[in-house]
Structure 1
Amino acid sequence: MQQADQLDKTFWNLRWENKQTGWDIGMASPAITNFMSNYPHKNAAILIPGCGNAHEAYWLVQHGFTNITLIDIAPKAIAILKEKYADQPAIEVIEGDFFEHQGQYDLLLEQTFFCAISPELRTNYVAKAASLLKDGGKLIGLLFNVKFEREGPPFGGEKTEYWSLFEKHFTIKKMEDCYHSIQPRANTELFFHLIKG
């Protein structure tokens, strides 16, 4: 298993430079858009950590959301995003480390970031996500409900492990098999909806 210090800015930037972005599904995650299509607060402060190509951000803007922050550690990814969303004032693009980021948000969207970090950082991830959310804020998204045979990233896991991690900082409203996965990930994902506090 690769250690946390190996999965750094250089590692991820090289992946972007070499176009090794197999995690990118080429569109906004259907599970996330399904949830957000019923989310009423269009001016909610939304953070998408480890955002990659941030297809969700484009979908959100198209559906009237006005306050979206994207953060990624890879300079190449950020350069792509800044060009892609140059004419979108509703989207702020930040090059930086999620674990060092400061801010207060109503909603965090999780899509392939949690599985990209070393499992030894998962406890830190949960605490940091909670610290970035306002009271009553929500963390929603997808987690792999499978143990991968090869060395990550991506890193898998299973429901009981995630439940014990997140319940320390969140009320778990939903953590169940995802019925809106893309076909290649069918039956391998959990959709979760957590509330801070």
Structure 2
Amino acid sequence: MSGPDIAFWQQRFDAGQLPWDRGAPSPQLSVWLNDGTLPPGRIAVPGCGSGHEVELLARAGFTVTAIDYAPGAVALTRDRLAAASLVAEVVQADVLTWQPETPLDGVYEQTCLCALHPDHWVIYAAQLHAWLRPGGRLALLAMQAHRDGAGLGLIEGPPYHVDVNALRALLPASCWEWPPPPYPRVPHPASGWAELALVLTRR
């Protein structure tokens, strides 16, 4: 498998080296919840990490399935939910093969795409489409991690830079309804990078 494997991620959870972790849910998720962009329903959080967003979604009344293939992430998310007396399904699985029992109403995609090596993006994009019911929403935070090596054709990460042009090819308008740009830019203080926030609707 190209890119980081389970051992790579588990080592970081074991060492507590989680530079992508804000220590709280992304502020953009609260915006989407407050303005009704994400109405309660069945939602998946692929690459759930420490589970901050899983907790917030569970508090907001969603039926949440959190997915991660690193045991450390699964344990942290389960502990967070237990401490808050909240219930969500937490699954240790590979997002490239996992399937929900029934189509979902939403997917909250924040850290999974940029953590996967680009060799796997086409498969993952097909998964996102397959998981959602028609009319379901993909709430996506596209990591903007520009590096100088890109000018030489180097693929550097994780996190891997998610170029919006590549994203349009992965999630084409024939399969998804795209909102018009510009898209809100959400700073990521731990890295100095940022994310573009957009919500796509599955056709």
Please state which band the TM-score falls in when normalised by the shorter chain. Answer: 0.7 to 0.9
- Please say if residues 175 and 193 of structure 1, whose CA atoms lie closer than 8 Å, have aligned partners that are also in contact: no
2:46 aligned with 1:49, yes or no?
A: yes
Question: 5+ unaligned residues in a row in structure 2: which ranges?
Answer: 150-155
Match runs of 1:78-89 below 5 Å: 78-86=74-82, 87-89=85-87
Cα distance, 1:149 vs. partner?
A: 3.7
C-alpha distance in 1 between matches for 2:179 and 2:51: 25
Cα distance, 1:160 vs. partner?
A: 1.5
Cα distance, 1:186 vs. partner?
A: 7.0
Match runs of 1:34-183 below 5 Å: 34-39=31-36, 41-42=39-40, 44-62=41-59, 64-86=60-82, 87-89=85-87, 91-103=88-100, 104-149=103-148, 151-167=156-172, 169-174=175-180, 176-183=182-189
Letter of the 1:158 counterpart: D
C-alpha distance in 2 between matches for 1:108 and 1:21: 23
What SS does structure 2 have at the residue aligned with 1:85? Answer: helix
C-alpha distance in 2 between matches for 1:99 and 1:175: 29
Identity %: 27
What count of residue pairs does the alignment treat as equivalent? Answer: 191
TM-score (norm 2): 0.84
Task: Kindly provide the CA deviation profile for residues 110-129 of structure 1, in whole angstroms up to 9, marking residues without a partner as x.
Answer: 11111100011111111100
Question: 5+ unaligned residues in a row in structure 1: which ranges?
Answer: none
Task: Kindly provide the CA deviation profile for residues 144-169 of structure 1, in whole angstroms up to 9, marking residues without a partner as x.
Answer: 23422463111003222211221153
The alignment's C-alpha RMSD in Å is 2.1
Q: 1:149/1:51 Cα in 2 relative to 1: closer, same or farther (>3 Å)?
A: farther
Moved over 4 A (4+): 182-187
What SS does structure 1 have at the residue aligned with 2:11? Answer: helix
